[in-house]
Amino acid sequence: MNALSARSVILVDDDDEVRAAVSQSLELAGFQVAAFMGASAALASLPQDFPGVIVTDIRMPDIDGLQLFASVRQRDAGLPVILMTGHGDVPMAVRALRDGAHDFIAKPFSTDHLIGSIERGLERRELELENRRLRASVADAVSQSPFVGETPEIVQLRDSISAIAEADLAVLIEGETGVGKGLLAQILHRASKRRGRKFIAVDCAALSPENGLEQLFGRGDSRFGTDQPKFAGAHRGTLYLDSIDRLAQPLQPALLKAVEDQAVVGSGASSYPADVRMIASCRSDLRRLVEDGRFAEDLFYALRVVRVSIPPLRERRADIPLLFVHFLEEAAVQLKRPVPRINDALRKHILEQEWLGNVRELRSYAFKVCAGLEREVVSGASSGDASLADRVSRFEASIIRSVLRDCRGNAGQAMALLQTPRKTFYDKLARHRIDIAEYRS
């Protein structure tokens, strides 16, 4: 068959005149038709994941339409088959419907009737193939970098993803910067029953008390323009509340009410449904914030129905070499360069580092190594017998990274905490090869 379109039809009928007439009608209606006089030829030409619909007569020599349907069902149970029947074959067609056939049309039939049935079959097929694609993407996503590893903590996390995704409950993801909280939220959405709907991410740290309610819920009018509020956009989908620990206190009661009511009531009488699955993430200990009176206790329990903790890289050091190789291979593909060899010096270096930026920082370093920007380490230089100056330099770099992590990459705050002038600060970043962008969220 030629290149297939989303409006493809395989037509099977042993009557030359009927086959020609139906083919012409369907082609005039905009369908791409592949016509066959027998089921054997049609089956031989049927590609995997065929994006269209099969239309077949029931009464045919050798392999009849019901046998063709049975063979198709064994290959691909989600492929719509429409049976064309004579009046005497209606009982057989009804049984085929019960077995999963898409439709049957009794002869003589109008072209419009057949076209309508095909259109419905194509819609069903498009949804089936999209679901397959999503399931495949979930399988790929689960194996992505932040969750590569063999330590018990990361194995348990991987094993729990499917069950958590299917539960359709509120999830709180805890973990430091760079461990993969946002990626886990997307994986949970793509593996859930809401995967066909939107995934809306909100940076709670960016919601001010003045405009946060409007961004989340709108102005109290269900008629929205191009700037649709987050809850309305996530209806029947997933709302990801990143940095929920930094949500302004004045916004917390309204968020709690929306979570509990599954609806948003505006300032007037207007309201709109908000069937939203909530996934939130935090770096801080949210329970401690509750105890300190900085986070609403009821909201804490509403969001923490399921708790997931992603361990920092320093607590899963055994996974670092495996992760690093994974990132090197990813970098080699993207940069179109050979995968660098990991010598003893490089292995020792990656195992000794603090990796305060966690997986994100390790990935960035792998890309630098692959790009040839870390020649000194890759060439075999060892830091085992480092001088006092080298040790002080490493200590200084670890302090800067720690401050940047706490400030989320805010240069002004970091300079103030370090009591360092701007030029000196950026000189130190350059000398220690610290990319401030890695710490911004």
What is the 3-class SS of 357-390, one letter each residue?
CHHHHHHHHHHHHHCCCCHHHHCCCCCCCCCHHH
Does pLDDT of 378 surpass 80?
Answer: no
The CATH number assigned to the domain holding 120 equals: 3.40.50.2300
Residue with tokens 């691909």: 76
Residue 269's pLDDT band (boundaries 50, 70, 90)? very low
Q: Is 60 exceeded by the pLDDT of residue 398?
A: yes
Q: What angle do CA 98, 75, 45 make, to 5 degrees?
A: 115
Q: What are the angstrom distances between the C-alpha of 303 and each of 57, 163, 173, 183, 217?
A: 56, 17, 10, 18, 18
Most confident range (mean pLDDT) of 124-128, 249-253, 266-270 is 249-253
In a domain, 1, yes or no: no
Please tell me the least confidently modeled range out of 34-43, 133-142, 399-408: 133-142
Q: Is residue 175 in a domain?
A: yes
> Among 264, 282, 309, which residue terminates a domain?
309
- Tell me, yes or no, whether 156 and 50 share the same domain: no
CA 340/CA 20 separation, integer angstroms: 61
In this structure, are 258 and 400 located in the same domain?
no
In the predicted structure, residue 51 carries a pLDDT above the cut 50: yes
The average pLDDT across 145-151 equals: 73
Stretch 336-356: mean pLDDT: 83
Query: Which of the residue ranges 234-238, 242-246, 267-271, 328-332 would you say has the lowest mean pLDDT?
Result: 267-271
Q: Which amino acid is at 102?
A: H
Residue 381: the pLDDT is 41
> What pLDDT score was predicted for residue 376?
61
My answer on whether 158 and 47 are in the same domain is no
Record the tokens describing residue 1, joined without a space.
């068959």
Q: What percent of the chain has pLDDT over 70?
A: 86
Q: Is residue 276 part of a domain?
A: yes
Domain identity same for 341 and 247? no
Are 244 and 360 part of one and the same domain? no
User: Domain ends where: 134, 160, 191?
Assistant: 134
Residue numbers of the domain that contains 366: 313-439
235 with 286, same domain: the answer is: yes
Whether the per-residue pLDDT at 383 is higher than 60: the answer is no
The count of domains in the chain is: 3
Q: State the CATH number of the domain containing residue 167.
A: 3.40.50.300
- Region 205-226: mean pLDDT is 73
Task: For residue 147, count other CB atoms closer than 10 A to its CB.
Answer: 22
139 falls within a domain: no
Q: How confident is the model at residue 143 (pLDDT cuts 50, 70, 90)?
A: low
In a domain, 89, yes or no: yes
Q: Which two tokens stand for residue 142?
A: 């689960």
As a whole-number percent, the residues of the chain with pLDDT over 90 amount to: 40
**Distance in angstroms (rounded) separating the CA atoms of residues 323 and 236:** 35
My answer on whether 358 and 420 are in the same domain is yes
Asked if residue 174 and residue 70 are part of one domain, the reply reads: no
Structural domain ending residue among the three candidates 245, 280, 309:
309
**Per the domain annotation, does 2 fall within a domain?**
no
Q: Which two tokens stand for residue 54?
A: 């099969």
Mean pLDDT for the stretch of residues 51-63: 92
Least confident of 20-24, 137-141, 180-184, 380-384: 380-384
pTM above 0.85, yes or no: no
Do 299 and 151 lie in one domain? The reply is yes
Give the pLDDT score at 164.
93
- Do residues 86 and 106 touch, judged by C-beta distance below 8 A? yes
At 407 the pLDDT is 84
